[in-house]
Structure 1
Amino acid sequence: MRPWKTLLLAAALTLSAAVPSAAAPPAVPAPDCAWKPLGYRTSNVAFPDTNAQYWLLHHTVRKGLRITLDGRFPDARYASFASYDATRGSFTGPDGKPSVLTDHHIVPDPGSRNPFLRDARPGGKYTVTVSDDAAHRNNVLPLAPAGTAEGSAGTVIYRLYLPHGGEVELPKVTFELDGHRVRVPTCDDALTPAPPAPPAPASEARAARAVTGAIAPAPARPAFARTAGAGLYPNPDNAYLSTGFEAPAPGQVLLVRGKAPTATAGDRAQPWPGRGKAQVRYWSMCDNLWWGPGEVVVNPLPDGTVDPGCRADFDTRLAADGSYTYAVGTEEQRATVEGVPGVTFLPLSAATPTAKHLLILRNMVDGPGFDGAIQRVPVGSDPVRTAEIMGAHYPRTGYCALSTLTSSGPDGCPVA
């Protein structure tokens, strides 16, 4: 090589070493996929309502992180987005409101309409942002409670109750940090129908019976109290009453009776509160297992279907005065109970029928002026205070012989 070429090459190498290379873009803390399904047909944890579908979007808290959800308004009884902290609890955002964005509070994109806000066809577009800058802005959910350390876990849940025809379209998800954007694909199993959750293994059933112990001939009446659902991804739009109870003695059922709130009808999107007299958007009574991770009862039936442990407003029989009566019993008692006018059957677990169970009553999105709503009861109120506030809407209980129920009807079985 000629000397002058050698000098030029050396100079070029020196300059290239002096000029720093372009910095690699910062990593955007996005998950591998969006919308992991949750519910009684998948993992069956956290006391799911069997008329709801849930999808989880996990994230890692970073200052300045923005998550954008581009979707279309569904045709369903109810839809919402809610944020949760690392303990799976909801929280209060910087505007002092719960960390939830309910369907009728979502502002549609320009040119679209929200069917939960005014009469319109479903399918209009919306854009929701999850951000640490959520105060006083439309369609923004708080990313995490104020003061949350970077690197903490967080979750956003998309909920649907009673989607019309079972059709679901999940929002598109984009993570953005420091000007860099990542589109997160939808999880492969997000919309894959899952088989019903299997019953508890025999070993767990034996353990449950061992914990519960022998059932007394006349167990004490269970009494409902106001609970929060902390640590179990509670829906901020729901308010809950719950009570544990011992399984009825052989030949008996547990009766639960109260006045039903009027609810929005059907499975179509419609404005809330609308022009009707609905006191709540939805309500249900669900039977759950006391032990374990929070399972709702799901009993396999001989025809390959299941009997889920929830009965909602639309499949609960009402008396002329608007009251309901549930009879909680075994699947073997179902046909007899359903032959009693005005009584709705609610199943015990077929796998562990003698174990302790947990009843949960939900009221969703109470309407203005509904003084008997669970939402009016302070969290942590005992049964006496809860009953005082709710009045006739408070669920009262009592054990009853099945033979008495069939011969005398629900009025022959006292509740208190």
Structure 2
Amino acid sequence: MTHWKPVLFAVALALSTSAPATAAPTIGPGRDTPSAPAVPDCAWHPLGYRSSNVAYPDTNSQYWLLRYTVREGLTIEIDGRYPDARYASFASYDASRDSFTGPDGSPSVLTDHRIVPDRGSHNPYREHSRPGGKFTVSVTDRAAGRRNTLPLSPAGTPEGAEGTVIYRVYLPHGEIRLPKVTFLHDGHRVPVATCDDALTAGPSTSVPDTARDAAGTGPGAVPPSPTAGEPARPAFARLGGSGLYPNPDNAYVATGFDAPPAGQVLVVRGKAPTGTSGDRARPWPDPNAQVRYWSMCDNLWWGPGEVVANPMPDGTVDTGCRTDSDTRLAADGTYTYVVGREEQRTTVESVPGVTFLPLSAATPDDKHLLILRNMLADPDFAEAIQHVPVGSGPAGTAEVMGDHYPRAAYCDLASLTASGPQACPVV
């Protein structure tokens, strides 16, 4: 049994998106004293499939980026309100666009339920309360023993190095209010304006060269071997990510696959973890959930790492991602995804118990990449992707995940329609 082992996935998957080019931080008018902090042109450049469809974004999430220049004594103050959403977090990254451990051992991620509210406010991810309460997060090189802090940079980072903060929100309910940002240094407080397009991003027509290199068109990428005749059965493996802003709360398994032959579809089946549901903030951990969120996404293999996003005649977009809430489950808790062309969708969705995933309408015959995500796995959920060692092949991944391991096979669409999912064995 063969499977794809793309270097592109190992370095590009973890963010689920890549950053657009951003002007280097500069000292604005009246802020050019030696102790004033250098500030970026604006805060919260939008990321995601709508603004920059690169590096395999999850289409049910939104991302915003803030760049900074490392300087001893610098603190970045982030004043915000808890969103009403399935998940939110802040994470800081080093000059290599990797997460890291701060000099005091603190992780470079603050997940929603770990953010302590301001006095008089409440955190809906810690207790049952209305969203909108206030919080203050600091990114600083003096994080030891302080609450709501992210490390500015790893130990030994020289002044002038680049750093980044990313704000992530999954499945928001209603409007998102982006946090206010202030840079502080030696008594100077410099507010940073929110980017004009932060909440109005449209489709991007440009792809950063760094993203292209990491996503498979640049040096070092290992292309899949061409196949002849019947395509090989895909097999999922646990691959990690570095260099493109990995989210420490996520873990992934993935497989590349050839487009199904004429009249066929790709069927993927596995046991779903129990997760929280909907798009509202609720306390975590949840005694009834094994993960906070999970999804399956179909992406293009070649190029910058686009998630499938097919424009539809009615003006909507059929994206290649299905969340846990969008996925049909059988009585035993298993899912069955059927990956096919848009013209097969009506037929596929007539089959009870299956969930349709689209191939790219523009290039349906190209190789694609399936990605299964687990977010914030409960420590007692032994079959979570988080427990699979990074770099494990299909056999090792399946051994840890057990029934939760996604198994795939090509299947005749007529057989699927006539006899249901049982006509397509994936064992």
Q: Which amino acid aligns with 2:135?
A: Y
1:268-283 alignment runs, 5 A limit: 268-274=280-286, 276-283=287-294
Give the counterpart of 1:313 among 324, 327, 331. Answer: 324
How far off its partner does 1:256 sit?
0.8
Kept in 1: contact 2:52–2:203 (CA 8 A) = no
1:33 aligns to 2:45 (yes or no): no
How far off its partner does 1:212 sit?
7.2
Kept in 1: contact 2:107–2:150 (CA 8 A) = no
How far off its partner does 1:120 sit?
1.1
How far off its partner does 1:195 sit?
4.9
SS in 2 for 1:342: coil
Distance in 1 of aligned mates of 2:224 and 2:313: 28
Kept in 1: contact 2:182–2:189 (CA 8 A) = yes
Moved over 6 A (4+): 211-214
Kept in 1: contact 2:56–2:307 (CA 8 A) = yes
Kept in 1: contact 2:83–2:131 (CA 8 A) = yes
Distance in 2 of aligned mates of 1:295 and 1:133: 38
1:226 aligns to 2:234 (yes or no): no
1:195-234 alignment runs, 5 A limit: 195=203, 216-234=228-246
* Residue 12 (structure 1) aligns with: none
Distance 1:328 1:111, change over 3 A: same
* Residue 108 (structure 2) aligns with: 99
* Residue 27 (structure 2) aligns with: none
Kept in 2: contact 1:216–1:249 (CA 8 A) = no
Give the counterpart of 1:111 among 101, 116, 120. Answer: 120
SS in 2 for 1:366: coil
How far off its partner does 1:34 sit?
0.1
Distance in 1 of aligned mates of 2:268 and 2:274: 18
* Residue 75 (structure 1) aligns with: 84
Distance in 2 of aligned mates of 1:339 and 1:213: 35
Distance in 2 of aligned mates of 1:375 and 1:59: 30
How far off its partner does 1:319 sit?
0.5
How far off its partner does 1:229 sit?
2.3
1:286 aligns to 2:297 (yes or no): yes
Give the counterpart of 1:345 among 353, 356, 359. Answer: 356
1:133 aligns to 2:145 (yes or no): no
Distance in 1 of aligned mates of 2:82 and 2:157: 31
* Residue 255 (structure 2) aligns with: 243
Distance 1:145 1:294, change over 3 A: farther
Distance 1:364 1:24, change over 3 A: closer
Distance in 1 of aligned mates of 2:110 and 2:260: 41
1:123 aligns to 2:132 (yes or no): yes
Distance in 2 of aligned mates of 1:374 and 1:46: 20
How far off its partner does 1:152 sit?
1.5
How far off its partner does 1:134 sit?
2.2
Kept in 1: contact 2:106–2:151 (CA 8 A) = no
TM-score if structure 2 supplies the norm length? Answer: 0.86
Kept in 1: contact 2:53–2:204 (CA 8 A) = no
Distance in 2 of aligned mates of 1:136 and 1:320: 48
Give the counterpart of 1:362 among 373, 377, 380. Answer: 373
1:331 aligns to 2:342 (yes or no): yes
* Residue 275 (structure 2) aligns with: 263
Q: Which amino acid aligns with 2:300?
A: L
SS in 2 for 1:280: coil
1:60 aligns to 2:73 (yes or no): no
Kept in 2: contact 1:68–1:129 (CA 8 A) = yes
Q: Which amino acid aligns with 2:267?
A: L
Kept in 1: contact 2:51–2:201 (CA 8 A) = no
How far off its partner does 1:193 sit?
4.9
Unpaired runs of 5+ in structure 2? 1-31, 207-222
Distance in 2 of aligned mates of 1:260 and 1:376: 16
Kept in 2: contact 1:40–1:197 (CA 8 A) = no
SS in 1 for 2:348: helix
Q: Which moved more, 1:129-138 or 1:97-106?
A: 129-138
How far off its partner does 1:196 sit?
8.3
Give the counterpart of 1:254 among 250, 258, 266. Answer: 266
1:361-380 alignment runs, 5 A limit: 361-380=372-391
Distance in 2 of aligned mates of 1:405 and 1:135: 58
Q: Which moved more, 1:385-394 or 1:81-90?
A: 81-90
Q: Calculate the aligned-residue CA RMSD, in Å.
A: 2.1
Deviation digits for residues 170-205 of structure 1, max 9, x if unmatched? 00000112221110000000011525879xxxxxxx
Distance in 2 of aligned mates of 1:373 and 1:262: 11
Kept in 1: contact 2:295–2:323 (CA 8 A) = yes
Distance in 2 of aligned mates of 1:133 and 1:248: 54
How far off its partner does 1:352 sit?
1.4
How far off its partner does 1:214 sit?
6.5
1:390 aligns to 2:405 (yes or no): no
Distance in 2 of aligned mates of 1:216 and 1:407: 29
Give the counterpart of 2:164 among 155, 160, 164. Answer: 155
1:394-413 alignment runs, 5 A limit: 394-413=405-424
Distance in 1 of aligned mates of 2:62 and 2:163: 20
Kept in 2: contact 1:70–1:125 (CA 8 A) = yes
1:171 aligns to 2:179 (yes or no): yes
Kept in 1: contact 2:52–2:204 (CA 8 A) = no
Distance in 1 of aligned mates of 2:200 and 2:304: 23
* Amino-acid identity (%): 72
